Structure 1
């Protein structure tokens, strides 16, 4: 191509670029108030904040003084720190250890009830602490004035805890939710029609294909969610609503009033279900292409040769499995031709083989994207499951608590993973499971199919998330996408009043002929009696 042709081509591209600029949605750097949830939830929120910061938005993060993960100082944001007293980390540690012990020893029904009670009590305590934090904000007039004067464009919050939702209401700001979990259960159940006949309740361990008894179980688990909201979580928020909001409110209605739900799921991962127009699915938005590994780790991975590598981690909340389980897993790894990278912070297993590298931290995303990695042994956290889908790596799952079994079940149903319950983990079951996922090609093929489906989107999940945050800024909310159905009384929502009216009308229509016939019959009978009496009178 000649120089003249090249200049003309460049000129044409420049002209087209100038023509397209007016049609590109634009949002000047906004001012966003962020109320995140700590722990693994913060990992998701931070990734979104990094992207928003890179696009020129100003971020303010409200955090607890006892935060595990959220630093007070960051190049991404300025922070407002609340004095929250004791940390929830110790409560979580005690619960997690009790949960693992119960699974290992074989949980009875009474043990299940105790663990459920402990879990609900822990959640109720966490909500109560954050409600106190919300009161701390509102009672600090200087802080409220500062928040008002900052002229935020919106509140971005994770509604697993409710104070961010309350704060958006108090400051009268548009609300965007970075969500999968709400104050009680999974977000869809308060937003979209959720028939329990085919939509499994989290914790039930069910799929979208249920038998009669499974539907009974699903209904019972839904009852637990309603109990949690009504008696454990709701009262804490009701007290704040009554104290600070004229006319009162409730946390569920405030959630339903949110402008946009950025939902950390998609229908490659989840079962199909009804949804709403203000739900934007951003499942896997945290996933990125793998970056090069550190030199020593790359050398270890490459040394595996054609056998490949197995990686294992149980997430950020669990540092180590019980020693007897760790020893049995290590002995299985030691017999395998693959190399193993295992995030494990507990006592070093006595049966550890030379092919296994123990690490305190691993670049999980970069390892999953490495062509040498063959299997991911994981606990089933949402981030890990979505990253394994993104990179097409089959999973051997050992669920421990929370939503992990349900997450892994979705992979199992699609033939992309296998589950071993913690109570069933021993040398034999683990060896059988890891070899099945390694050597049956269907697991990798099915996971790679999920990966292709996930990647085949018109817009990347992260770009969707940022677009809709900026959309709310540009339009001062998104009320036109929000249903008003939640403001209806329950009897109107389910058309009970209409059904009663129709039933009454049909009943009247059916009874009217009967009433007329009875009336005519009674009148005829009366006439006969009257005639008889007249006849007798004449005869006398």
Structure 2
């Protein structure tokens, strides 16, 4: 059986090299974590022999064969600032900010000289892969080149992915990406989740898509297609999800899970980090808030709380801290403005990962079987960490509640109880147990969509229905009307029977004076 599987993989790779395709990837957001997923998709395709073009603000420092960068140079308009101030933003504010960002990015990308030069120079692409993230006007590139459109989400499913695929949204057990709930919601949480999701439906349909339609019409009016028509024609949507670690969600045939795609085999660590971890005989902790959130932006009182706790531990700590110096740094703490996070998590002495709960870092920890403590700040991070807590591989600390006692309590809880390590190893094994690697799956499905001229047979029939038909509102109204008519008919029949009985027995109404 294993031999047959390897033969199938080799044949697929041979087909790729024998029939190379030209594929354009569009990942314009200046969030490094978003680019990582887009880059991993395009790198997988390039390694399979296809010629890929990558539109992004992060050109490669080391060229990859078949991989062509199209540099999207930014000015200061997209500076993120201190992300900790966004910790308490309500979902509605997140939606508004992202819609504004999406309108800017759509216009900025399509008006950029490097993009205009690419569109003028390259007359053909076999497929377009666009990140699904509030800039739907960019889907028009597929209409411009008359080729399959493939979406890629840096989250799991969402309103944005499900509008492309018509997968159902289940508000009762699928929390919105911007709320801080797990899949096990109580009555009030389910009600709030439903209201937020319905608010987003109205926000997207009545406001956001209108803005994107205007950008689409300006840049792609020559195609004769509408934005909604292009969205309906979507061939596939890659979602950065795997059923073993996130709540089960309804999907349809053209939604492909590629969770773990960005995780390569671990590389050799830099000598200073390797030496530090090798000498951590009592274990080591990795503390990082990822690429978007600066650890050095932590308020002084919260930073000092971590310093005091770390000074009490026998374990060593690697802290991603962007300033050159950390005042009162304990001897068992090593700081660095950049760390090879994935490779550090693979070191056998690393026993705990303190993280903001981003999907990429959480996935890396799961693959290596390392328990986590989460301090979620925004977006899907709270949901990721609540799921980790539910699986028994970590705990969650609220950012606003951070203090010395809380930090020490959580570290001792996860480090000293063996069930966290055991659960993490168990989930790691399940996560890696797949018929194909995420890289192989990505290449296969992109090629499948191209080979089958967009693979329209994978699209849900829900695309043919309007809102009232899809949600059976017309059917419910018809049934209610029929019930009303039946009840009314029954009422009139009873009236006639009673009137007949009254006439039969000579009962007369008595007129009042």
Query: Once the two structures are superposed, what CA deviation does each residue of 1:468-496 show, in whole Å capped at 9, x if it has no partner?
Result: 11112222211111113133112211223
> Structure 2 regions of 5+ residues with no counterpart?
507-513
Q: Residue 125 of structure 2 is aligned with which of 135, 149, 152?
A: 152
CA contact (8 A) 2:84 2:377 kept: no
TM-score, normalised to structure 1, is: 0.81
Q: Indicate yes or no: 2:409 matched with 1:420.
A: no
**Aligned position for 2:81:** 93
SS in 1 for 2:326: coil
Matched, 1:280 2:271: no
Distance 1:87 1:59, change over 3 A: farther
How far apart, in 1, do the equivalents of 2:490 and 2:21 lie? 70
* Offset, 1:456: 1.1
Larger gyration radius, structure 1 or structure 2: 1
Q: Secondary structure at the match of 2:302?
A: helix
Does residue 131 in structure 1 map to residue 131 in structure 2? no
Q: 1:35 aligns with which of 26, 30, 33?
A: 26
Aligned length: 492
The aligned runs of 1:45-64 (5 Å cut-off) are: 45-63=38-56
Return the TM-score normalized by structure 2: 0.85
Of 430, 439, 452, the match for 2:407: 430
Q: CA deviation at 1:345?
A: 0.8
Report the Cα distance in structure 2 between the residues aligned to 1:170 and 1:473, rounded to whole angstroms: 16
Cα shift at 1:116: 5.2
- CA separation in 1, counterparts of 2:7 and 2:286? 49
* Distance of 1:382 and 1:210 partners within structure 2: 21
Q: Could you say if the C-alpha distance between residues 171 and 20 of structure 1 is closer, same or farther in structure 2, counting changes exceeding 3 Å?
A: closer
Distance 1:181 1:54 in 2: 24
- What secondary structure sits across from 1:93 in the alignment? coil
Which of 414, 423, 437 lines up with 1:446 in the alignment?
A: 423
Preserved contact between residue 266 and residue 283 of structure 1 (Cα < 8 Å)? yes
Task: Write the distance in 2 (CA, Å) between the matches of 1:268 and 1:416.
Answer: 13
Mapped partners of 2:259, 2:306: distance in 1: 31
| Partner of residue 340, structure 1 | 317
- For 1:44, the equivalent position in structure 2 comes to 37
User: In structure 1, what is the equivalent of residue 364 of structure 2?
Assistant: 387
In the alignment, what sits opposite 2:510?
A: none
User: Match for residue 311 of structure 1?
Assistant: 286
Q: CA deviation at 1:325?
A: 1.9
Give 1:301 deviation, angstroms.
1.0
User: Residue 535 of structure 1 corresponds to which residue in structure 2?
Assistant: none
CA distance in 2, matches of 1:458, 1:425: 42
Is the Cα–Cα contact under 8 Å of residues 309 and 404 in structure 2 kept in the other structure?
yes
Can you list the C-alpha shifts for 1:194-230, whole angstroms capped at 9, x where unaligned?
2211221122212222222111111222134235424
CA distance in 2, matches of 1:525, 1:430: 82
Structure 1 distance, partners of 2:467, 2:347, is 52
After superposition, residues 369-380 of structure 1 pair within 5 angstroms as 369-380=346-357
How far, CA to CA, are the matches of 1:19 and 1:199 in structure 2?
36
Deviations 1:108-148 (A, max 9, x none): xxxx56x953x44432321121232365379x98754534x
CA shift, 1:36, in A, is 1.1
Cα offset, 1:393, TM superposition: 0.2
Is 2:274 the partner of 1:298? yes
Map of 1:78 onto structure 2: 68
Q: Which of 423, 438, 448 matches 1:461?
A: 438
Structure 1: runs of 5 or more not aligned: 1-12, 530-540
CA contact (8 A) 1:259 1:472 kept: yes
1:235 paired with 2:210, answer yes
Say whether residues 1:196 and 2:183 are aligned partners: no
CA separation of 1:394 and 1:521: change in aligned 2, threshold 3 A: closer
The secondary structure found in structure 2 opposite 1:462 is: helix
- 8 Å Cα contact 2:345/2:370 also seen in 1: yes
Q: Whole-Å Cα distance in 2 between the matches of residues 131 and 89 of structure 1?
A: 13
Q: 1:171 aligns with which of 108, 125, 145?
A: 145
- Distance in 1 of aligned mates of 2:403 and 2:498: 83
CA shift for structure 1 position 378: 0.7
Distance 2:504 2:426 in 1: 85
Going from structure 1 to structure 2, the CA distance change for 1:295 and 1:164 (only over 3 Å counts) comes to: same
Residue 223 in 1 paired to residue 198 in 2?
Answer: yes
In 2, the alpha carbon distance for the partners of 1:144 and 1:183 equals 31
- Distance change (3 Å), C-alpha of 1:348 and 1:175: same
Rounded to whole Å, the distance in 2 between the matches of 1:182 and 1:263 is 5
Could you tell me whether the CA contact under 8 Å between 1:328 and 1:351 is conserved in 2? Answer: no
Report if the CA contact (8 A) 2:155-2:240 is conserved. Answer: no
Task: Name the counterpart of 1:532.
Answer: none
Of residues 346-355 and 451-460 in structure 1, the stretch that sits farther from structure 2 once superposed is 346-355
Q: Distance in 2 between matches of 1:230 and 1:25?
A: 44
**Is this contact kept in 2: 1:156–1:177, CA < 8 A?**
yes
CA spacing shift, 1:59–1:19, aligned 2, 3 Å: closer
Asked if the contact 2:127–2:450 (Cα under 8 Å) also holds between the matched residues in 1, the reply is yes
1:464 and 1:270 map into 2 onto residues whose CA distance is 19
SS at match of 2:81: helix
Distance in 2 between the 1:130 and 1:183 partners? Answer: 22
